[in-house]
Amino acid sequence: MLGRIQDWSFKYCKYDISALSFYSYALDWIFYISMLVVFILYGTIIPPRYQEFSLQDISLMYSYKTEDETVIPIFLLILIAIVFPALQFVVCSFYNRRTLSGARQAWDVFVGLMCLCGSMATQLMITCILKNICGLPRPDLISRCEPFIGTLPPTPPPAFPPNGLVTVDVCTNDNIFILQEGFRSFPSGHSSTVFCGMVISSLNISGKLQVFDKRGISFKVILAIFPIMVACFVSCTRISDNRHFLRDVIGGSIIGTTVAVWFYLQYFPGVFHLENAGRAYPPRRIGVANFFNNVGGFWALEERLPGAFEERVLNTSTVITSLNDIDEAPSEHLMDPEELMDIPRNIEFFNKLGNRLKNTFLDLNHNKNILPA
């Protein structure tokens, strides 16, 4: 019920902060970073299932290139898929500095980084699990494997049918890391990672620049699709580097794009919400879902530009004023709306009101406020 979760506030520098909101975001960061660490280790240490393969399969006979010989090594992938999206959140917020307050700019950057971190952790989880479960060979597997084909067989001799499928036992390469990576073809990790970062970048640029404002400004369109072009380039290099088949790149691209869109819509209203101008949802508020028929709630931010997403915000004069129509709320609980904009007083007020209305649901977004318990 309404009074089940009690919020409180604390002061950092000169700012009052909701404790439950703060800890909920801290928990998200811990959760996402833990996911990243766990699945980086999982995708590196845990061996995949080794699929059988044919030594006569010409699609597996491509030459092996070291990581430094590839077009997009890991360090460059990190710059493109993670550093660039993080920087574009800063640049896009700074670009709108005349219409966005300092608090709104900082919040949009914070939320953008959280969206990026969560999406990267999720796509990495999906990709690493699929890689290890499928265990499909890469195009350069035979070059990695270095199968025994001489006259002196190893001890004990492996099963080596001349025209059938063989197992990983025929491989003589002592570098277990290179050999294991040869069985992690599907899906492409580069593709899923770069599409995840670039799709989020494209969506944020589209929202901040209002690309879909029906004016057809070509420069804004090019800026919005440029990240997608970069993602396509990076993905295609995985084929030319003999790391992946086309199916792997397509699969990774679908995973990265799907996760990116899903996470963007968790933190941003969407690029077609033109009046919102690409701004993130306000800071979430914990323990007030029943005030909005179990849909959740937010803290208001200082805004310069009108049209921001303001639904389900409890510390605004409009919402506080609407409480005057609730008969169940005694007059002593009603305060001046401007006074209740203050975070500590607002928390105190709604904690008391929640305890008072334990068996009642309120829907402050509609005219009929009182709903049956």
DSSP code string of 96-137: TTTTS-HHHHHHHHHHHHHHHHHHHHHHHHHHHHHHHHH-PP
- The pTM assigned to this predicted structure is 0.88
Per-residue pLDDT, 163? 59
Distance between CA atoms of residues 287 and 290, nearest Å: 8
Among 8, 24, 13, residue whose Cα is nearest residue 283: 24
Distance between CA atoms of residues 133 and 148, nearest Å: 26
Per-residue pLDDT, 26? 96
Alpha helices, DSSP H, located in the chain: 19-45, 74-78, 84-95, 102-134, 141-145, 176-181, 189-209, 218-240, 246-267, 317-322, 343-356
DSSP code string of 53-71: B-TT-GGG-PPP--GGGSS
Per-residue pLDDT, averaged over 5-22, amounts to 87
β-strand partners of 292: 363
For residue range 263-300, list pLDDT tens digits in order: 999 999 989 988 888 899 999 998 887 777 778 889 98
Q: Which of 126-135, 181-190, 328-337, 345-354 has the lowest mean pLDDT?
A: 328-337
* Domains of the chain, residue spans: 17-148+156-276, 289-371
Q: Which residue has the tokens 């608090």?
A: 103
Structure tokens at 246: 């086309």
CB 112 within 8 A of CB 208: no
CB atoms near residue 286 (< 10 Å): 16
Among 156, 155, 147, 148, residue whose Cα is nearest residue 179: 147
Q: Residue 343's pLDDT band (boundaries 50, 70, 90)? A: confident
Phi, psi angles (nearest 5°) of residue 169 = -65, -20
Cα 185 versus chain centre, distance: 23
Question: Beta strand pairing status for 361-362 and 15-18?
Answer: unpaired
For residue range 40-77, list pLDDT tens digits in order: 999 999 999 999 999 999 999 999 999 999 999 999 99
For residue range 73-96, list pLDDT tens digits in order: 999 999 999 999 999 999 998 888
Q: Residue 3's pLDDT band (boundaries 50, 70, 90)? A: very low
β-strand partners of 9: 18
Per-residue pLDDT, 348? 85
